[in-house]
């Protein structure tokens, strides 16, 4: 998969224009964020849900690209949008209940929000 990302077009913020690529890098950022956190047992399910929802975004975008119909495509992009919004929820809960970097968590929330807005815009334009 990494070879697919070698010659990416980037925006002025250094993020890929292609939403599938952007969601891939976001998933990697979440995985590294979780890896660097000290997790007490009570919080383990929050982090598990965070990793699941954040990686689901890109997986559903890739699946949607392979859809056999517009209806199929919209279904998968809708699931990706829901996963992006769910990711924001878990990040906010982690930020507000744990001793984690508020700055890093807010950066991730901002990126999840931007991704969800892009996906919503794509869905609206496709309909």
**Structural domain boundaries of the chain?**
16-126
Interval 7-39: pLDDT, tens: 567 666 666 678 999 999 999 999 999 999 988
Measured between alpha carbons, how far is 24 from 46 in angstroms, rounded to an integer?
20
Check if the beta carbon of residue 73 is closer than 8 Å to that of residue 67: yes
For 16-126, give the CATH class: mainly alpha
This prediction's pTM: 0.85
């Amino acid at each position: 998969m990494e070879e697919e990302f070698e010659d990416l077009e980037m925006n002025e913020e250094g993020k890929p224009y292609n939403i599938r690529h952007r969601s891939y890098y976001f998933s990697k950022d979440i995985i590294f964020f979780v890896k660097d956190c000290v997790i007490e047992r009570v919080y383990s399910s929050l982090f598990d849900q965070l990793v699941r929802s954040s990686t689901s975004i890109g997986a559903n975008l890739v699946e949607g690209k392979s859809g056999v119909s517009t209806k199929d495509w919209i279904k998968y992009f809708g699931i990706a949008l829901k996963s992006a919004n769910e990711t924001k929820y878990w990040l906010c809960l982690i930020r507000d209940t744990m001793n984690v970097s508020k700055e890093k968590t807010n950066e991730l929330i901002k990126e999840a929000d931007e991704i969800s807005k892009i996906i919503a815009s794509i869905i609206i334009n496709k309909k």
